[in-house]
Amino acid sequence: MKKKNRVGLISLVITIVGFIITLIGIHSGLLKSQLWYIVLAGFEAGTIGGLADWFAVSALFHEIPIPLVRRHTNIIVNNRKQLTDGVVDLITNKWLTPDIIKEKISGLSIAENILKVLQEPQNKTRAIDFLRDILNRLADSLDKPEVASLLQKILKDQIEGIDMATPLGRWLEKSVKSGDHNQLWEMILETAQRTINDNQTRQILLDMVKEKAKEYKSEGVLKRAFLWMAEKVGALDESSIVNKIIESINNFINEAKNNPNHQVRQRFDKSILEFAHNLTIGDEKTHNIVNDLKKKLIENTDARQLIQGILTRFKSTVKDELKSNDTSFMVLLINYLNGYLDELQQDKSTQQKIDIWLKETILKLVSKYHHEIGNMVRQSLSKLDDTELVAQIEEQVGNDLQYIRLNGAIVGGIVGMVLAIVKLLLPSH
């Protein structure tokens, strides 16, 4: 708070003390010259002027308990509403009108000033932290069910209008002719061989043979008798049958492995080529197969779950990349931001476009929400009670008002002495 100025009080004390001393000196005979009557008139008028201005200044901020005039004191508090309305009107309709704001910002280069601020290291850090916070908030919503549904809808809308059959046919035809699909053949055959030699598969086959033998027995007495005799003489051994089946399948797989010219593989490849050719030439029946498959794939609930899983993993990856400035993503983001700021610093044309957009936006907001300036001022003033309001105003202008009291004493003294001199110069009757 400002140190309170006492010049008004000091001036009033000086005039009162001067008036008393001069008056005593004249009445005691110590001061006999006519000059002292002029000085006495000056101190008297100065005292009156100082007291009058003290009352006027004090009446602004405080209640003066003097009958009749009391209700005209404490002016700021008693006229608070009118003062508030006046301040709001002054700010909104005089100092900060839309035209004045437009005039003030018209000469500013907002983009240039923003770039200068952003070039400071601490502000760059704040900008990066701000971007990280926004990206974190966006990442938090990535795996929500509605996002997965939206992506599925977008995917459906995009894929529905795309001809996938013809490119698929060309790709299949090219893959088969170039032998690119042979690797897939080898993987399928290798997997099939591991599966067929698995103990669990062997047990499944054994159970199937036993079940078929049981069904065969149930078909008649002769068949049952035949199988019974075969079992007795050892001609029917389920394990041997299973071993023969597995051995035959293994032989087939071994013949087909690493042999693109195998009869079965050649026939299968021929079927794929025919299918691919039909896709390429636009065969309606073949195209419908692909389109139905495409539709079922998109609309399947598993597709949404797949998208949901992808989004969840993507969210986790994004959150990890945003944890510090040393991750690959953040390094890329920071480098891009720094590069863009450097380019923009030199690109006056782009700065001008940004300036135009910012100024137009600001002016639109000012026109639309100009009344909020007055509301802000009114709300700020309403938060202060009477004591706080008076204290703040007095703190700002109180010292200057002290000089009004000083001037009152000085001017009153000068006027008093002038009148005394005039009276002395007038002829007496």
Same domain, 74 and 176: no
CA distance 109 to 118: 14
The answer to whether residue 199 is domain-embedded is yes
CA nearest 389: which of 179, 74, 170, 143? 74
Q: Would you state the pLDDT for residue 228?
A: 62
CA distance 362 to 5: 43
CA distance 380 to 389: 11
Q: Is the CB of residue 75 less than 8 Å from the CB of residue 56? A: no
- The residues near 140 (Cβ < 8 Å, ≥ 6 apart) are 315
Same domain, 164 and 309: yes
Host domain of residue 215:
160-315
Q: Would you state the pLDDT for residue 227?
A: 58
Same domain, 126 and 200: no
Residue whose tokens read 């003290």: 54
Q: Would you state the pLDDT for residue 44?
A: 92
State both tokens at 257. Answer: 């492995």
CA distance 392 to 376: 18
Same domain, 206 and 285: yes
The answer to whether residue 154 is domain-embedded is no
Same domain, 242 and 166: yes
The answer to whether residue 280 is domain-embedded is yes
Q: Would you state the pLDDT for residue 133?
A: 92
The answer to whether residue 99 is domain-embedded is no
The answer to whether residue 83 is domain-embedded is no
Q: Would you state the pLDDT for residue 1?
A: 47
The answer to whether residue 338 is domain-embedded is yes
Residues in the chain: 429
State both tokens at 324. Answer: 């510090």
Domain count along the chain: 3
Distances (CA, A) of 3 to 7, 12, 58, 256, 351: 12, 19, 18, 103, 47
Average pLDDT per block of 10 residues along the chain, 429 residues long: 70 91 90 88 91 87 82 86 89 86 84 86 88 90 84 75 80 84 83 86 82 70 64 64 85 86 86 86 83 73 78 90 90 89 88 89 87 89 87 81 84 89 77
Residue whose tokens read 């495409």: 294
Same domain, 72 and 212: no
Same domain, 20 and 53: yes
Same domain, 306 and 178: yes
Same domain, 263 and 235: yes
Which of 280, 315, 350 is a domain's end point?
A: 315
Same domain, 302 and 334: no
The answer to whether residue 271 is domain-embedded is yes
The answer to whether residue 379 is domain-embedded is no
Model-wide pTM > 0.85: no
Same domain, 194 and 236: yes
Same domain, 330 and 311: no
